[in-house]
């Protein structure tokens, strides 16, 4: 960013004057609040912050942030954010979208933004349904899902967003949920601190078209036994009394075990910097949000960042080919003459 001292701000400073218009009880409200509470703590300026969205309920997000923002094209938010970050690398660029927007029409843009390691922060609201268009099944809806577009039940095998992101070589991959503001804020903070593409899946309830999709694991009375916290360098244990854990078996697979039965020394220690597939294995630990499910940072590794590498290439090209002004060329008009 810049060397200018960033003034102190509050949530109010980051909240726009627009009326927030989501369905009452929507999980988007809690995600918005988590971001607005977090931004003053990041030591960033509003005028250097941009939120880019696609189409859908989640895509209204930029209207509610008192920053620069763009409500862009369906599925194309990662591509537009990539262009912005390359042109203005000093900006903090966030991308917001839903599971339908990012994984259906926008799937290709998402995976390429991740594999290129563009320094953008992608927040994907996953409610396993299309909300804005009134309840059709989405790329994350479970098989057998009965909706207006699948009256006999969906026969599509759903995406696992975490597996997809890791498979695309995303350098930061995490999951959180809309029922825990503190966990969301810390996860978003980690994403912001990461230099490179950061992907965060947020389990988000759509109380109108898919109410209770994640209740089995996020409800307050079941959360301790159903959410598996991932903390770097710590044994992966869960349960209200931490009596359960994750073990890597002799068969090369991860298993949920009772700690007392296998011994503490056999409980897997989480390593988010492991680049040999541990994060992917953890992403496959549950088959859906009705079994014990990992949350937290799955993967955080360091790779060259795309905009920085492109900047180096431009500098080399200008040095080798003599004087030139790329910015002046790009702003010179619709056409130019090549000698």
pLDDT tens digits, residue range 247-266?
A: 999 999 999 999 999 999 99
Q: Assess if residue 197 is contained within a domain.
A: yes
Number of domains in the chain: 1
d(CA 128, CA 212): 11
Question: What is the per-residue pLDDT across 145-189, written as a single tens digit (0 to 9) for each?
Answer: 999 999 999 999 999 999 999 999 999 999 999 999 999 999 999
Question: What is the per-residue pLDDT across 284-313, written as a single tens digit (0 to 9) for each?
Answer: 999 999 999 999 999 999 999 999 999 898
Residue 1 has pLDDT above 50, yes or no: no
Q: Could you give the percent of the chain with pLDDT greater than 70?
A: 97
Average pLDDT over residues 92-108: 96
Q: Assess if residue 243 is contained within a domain.
A: no
Q: Could you give the percent of the chain with pLDDT greater than 90?
A: 89
Q: Assess if residue 338 is contained within a domain.
A: no
Instruction: Indicate if the alpha-carbon torsion angle 203, 231, 123, 68 is positive or negative.
Output: positive
Q: Tokens in use for 198?
A: 């950061």
Q: Assess if residue 160 is contained within a domain.
A: yes
Q: Assess if residue 219 is contained within a domain.
A: no
**SS3 readout for the chain:** CCCCCCCCCCHHHHECCCCCCCCCCCCHHHHHHHHHHHHHHHCCCHHHEEEEECCCCHHHHHHHECCEEEECCCCCHHHHHHHHHHHCCCCEEEEEEEHHHHHHHCHHHHHHHHHHCCCCEEEEEECCCECCCCCECCCCCCCCCCCCCCCCCCCCCCCCHHHHHHHCCCCEEEEEECCCHHHHHHHHHHHHHCCCCEEEEEECCECCCECCCCHHHHCCCCHHHHEEEECCCCECEECCCCCEEEEECCCCCEEEEEHHHHCHHHCCECCCCCCCCHHHHHHCCCCCCCCCEEEEEEEECCCCCHHHHHHHHHHHHHHHHCCCCHHHHHCCCCCCCCC
Q: Pairing relation of β-strands 92-98 and 121-126?
A: parallel
Question: What is the per-residue pLDDT across 17-57, written as a single tens digit (0 to 9) for each?
Answer: 999 999 999 999 999 999 999 999 999 999 999 999 999 99
Q: Is the pTM of this model over 0.85?
A: yes
Q: Assess if residue 246 is contained within a domain.
A: no
* pLDDT value of residue 4: 66
* pLDDT value of residue 275: 87
**What CATH number has the domain bearing residue 31?**
3.40.50.970
* pLDDT value of residue 229: 98
Return mean pLDDT, the chain.
Answer: 94
d(CA 256, CA 34): 31
Which residue segment(s) compose the domain that 49 sits in?
Answer: 11-213
Q: Assess if residue 40 is contained within a domain.
A: yes
* pLDDT value of residue 3: 54
Q: Assess if residue 168 is contained within a domain.
A: yes
Contact 77, 53 (CB under 8 A): yes
């Amino acid at each position: 960013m810049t060397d200018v001292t960033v003034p102190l701000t509050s949530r109010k400073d980051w909240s726009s004057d627009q009326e927030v218009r989501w369905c009452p009880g929507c999980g988007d409200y809690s995600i918005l609040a988590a971001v607005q509470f977090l931004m003053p703590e990041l030591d960033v300026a509003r005028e250097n912050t941009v939120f880019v969205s696609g189409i859908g309920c989640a895509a209204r997000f930029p209207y509610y942030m008192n920053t620069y923002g763009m409500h862009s094209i369906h599925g194309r938010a990662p591509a537009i954010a990539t262009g912005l970050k390359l042109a203005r690398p000093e900006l903090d660029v966030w991308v917001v979208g839903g599971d339908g927007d990012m994984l259906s029409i926008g799937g290709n843009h998402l995976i390429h933004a991740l594999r290129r390691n563009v320094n953008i922060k992608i927040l994907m609201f996953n409610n396993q349904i299309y909300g804005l268009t009134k309840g059709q099944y989405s790329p994350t809806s479970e098989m057998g899902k009965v909706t207006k577009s699948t009256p006999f039940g969906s026969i599509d095998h759903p995406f696992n967003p975490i597996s997809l992101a890791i498979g695309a070589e995303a350098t930061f991959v995490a999951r959180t949920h809309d029922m825990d503001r503190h966990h969301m804020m810390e996860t978003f903070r980690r994403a912001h601190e990461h230099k490179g593409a950061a992907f965060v899946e947020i389990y988000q309830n759509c109380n109108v078209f898919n109410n209770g999709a994640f209740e089995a694991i996020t409800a307050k009375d079941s959360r301790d036994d159903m959410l598996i916290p991932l903390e770097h360098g710590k044994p992966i244990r869960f349960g209200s009394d931490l009596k359960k854990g994750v073990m890597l078996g002799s068969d090369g697979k991860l298993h949920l075990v009772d700690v007392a039965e296998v011994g503490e020394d056999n409980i897997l220690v989480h390593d988010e910097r492991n680049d040999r597939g541990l994060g992917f294995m953890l992403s496959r630990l549950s088959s859906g949000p009705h079994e014990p499910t990992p949350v937290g940072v799955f993967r955080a590794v360091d790779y060259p960042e795309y905009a920085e590498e492109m900047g180096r290439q431009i500098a080399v090209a200008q040095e080798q080919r003599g004087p030139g002004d790329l910015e002046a060329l790009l702003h010179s008009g619709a056409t130019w003459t090549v000698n």
